Amino acid sequence: MDNLMMSFIVFLVFLGIAFVIWVIIDLFQKDFSMTEKLLWLIVILIAPLLGSIVYFIFGRNRRESA
């Protein structure tokens, strides 16, 4: 049981890391100014999972609708 729990935790960690990497790649592909990109990057790097979720909810679609 401990081995299964450890495998699940490792899976969640890798999933979180993959999500953060995907958000950073998405950020630099968007049409933001360099200042906006740097501000979002700082938010994502200070609080990786929370910052990525905030970017995904608020920042990602901002330029698409404008």
C-alpha to C-alpha distances, 26 to 22, 34, 54, 57, nearest whole angstrom:
6, 14, 13, 13
Full-model pTM: 0.78
pLDDT at 33 over 50: yes
Residues 39-53 pLDDT 10s: 999 999 999 989 999
pLDDT at 62 over 80: no
Residues 50-59 pLDDT 10s: 999 999 888 8
Assess contact for 27 and 37: CB atoms under 8 A: yes
